[in-house]
Every structure is written in structure tokens, then in C-alpha cells.
Amino acid sequence: MKDYRDSDYAANKYARGLVYLFADKTVELTLEDYLRGTPGATEADFAELKALSDEIYLEQVRDENRQTNRDVSLDGLDETDACGVPSAEEILIDQPEQAARRERMRQQADQALSTLTEIQRRRYLLHKVDGLTMREIAVREGVVHTKIQSSLMAAERKIKKYLSAT
């Protein structure tokens, strides 16, 4: 994370005036300069402008930090498969195999779910697919959450047993 003390934001925030940092120089616009150059302006106008300037500089620092957090080191990336993109030929050749694999996995999941009781299946799908918590399912069904927990544990045991046998 960038140190605010070394930022444009800090230079502006801790100065009495508005600070503009350029590559070759820094310019500070004081209250007196502002009032002299802007007829009819008040100290309140300057304070509002100063606050807006601080906010803009702070947002710039936050944007820089967000981008920095997204940046990934290039060290070691050439050794990973994550860097490579498959060729169009590889994609076209692998498509039928991938589709067949997905279909086999879907059938296997259906068969594993068919080993569950109707209640276990409903609760398992509500929890795993719909993302409901055990307490939310319990409220929906009007039972205590420990019944949901027991049902889900039994469902997972059945699914694991089925998958290990196949």
C-alpha cells in the first residue's frame, strides 16, 4: 500500500493551500492568491474547493492501490500453464471430448443425487446450489437447524460413498 505521506494527496492535504504537483515543479495556490484571482469568491468557496481537491487526490491514491493489488509478479509465470492460451485448433479438437466429459459428470451427479431421500435431496440442493444457510433452510421448513445439519451430513456421506464406488 502506498504511503500517503509520499503522495500528491498528502502534499495537498497538509498544505494550507491547493497543491499542484508537476513533473518539474510544485505550485501552491494560497487562499490569498485564490481570492485575488477570483473576484467575488469567498473563504468558504476556497474551503469547498480545498475539500474537493483533497477528495480527488485521495480517490487517485485509492485507484492506484486497487490497481497495484491487481498486479501480479511476472516471476515464475513462464513456468505455469496459466499463462498459455490454447490454440484455436486445440480448442476445436478438445470440444467434443470436453462436452462428453461434462455430460458424464452431469450423469454421475444425477445418479449420486438419486441415492438421497427426497428430503435430503431438497435440502442438499437448497444448501449447495441455492446457497441457503442451514438456519435459512430450517426456517423455511419449520424445523430446528440441527435437523438440517444431520440431513446434510447424511446426504454428503451417501454422495461420497456413491462416488468412491464408481
Tell me: do 120 and 65 sit in the same domain.
Answer: no
Q: Which domain holds residue 9?
A: 4-70
Q: How far does Cα 102 stand from its chain's mean position?
A: 27
Share of the chain above pLDDT 70, in %: 81
Tell me: do 50 and 93 sit in the same domain.
Answer: no
Residue 156 exposed, middle or buried by CB count within 10 Å (0-12, 13-18, 19+): middle
Q: Are strands 18-21 and 26-29 parallel, antiparallel or unpaired?
A: antiparallel
As a whole number of Å, the end-to-end CA separation of the chain is 50
Domain-embedded: residue 79: no
Tell me: do 93 and 157 sit in the same domain.
Answer: yes
Tell me: do 102 and 33 sit in the same domain.
Answer: no
Mean pLDDT of the chain: 81
pTM of the model: 0.44
Q: Indicate whether 99 pLDDT > 70.
A: yes
Q: Indicate whether 59 pLDDT > 90.
A: no
Mean pLDDT for the stretch of residues 70-94: 63
**Could you give the CA distance from residue 146 to residue 165 in angstroms, rounded to a whole number?**
29
Domain-embedded: residue 146: yes
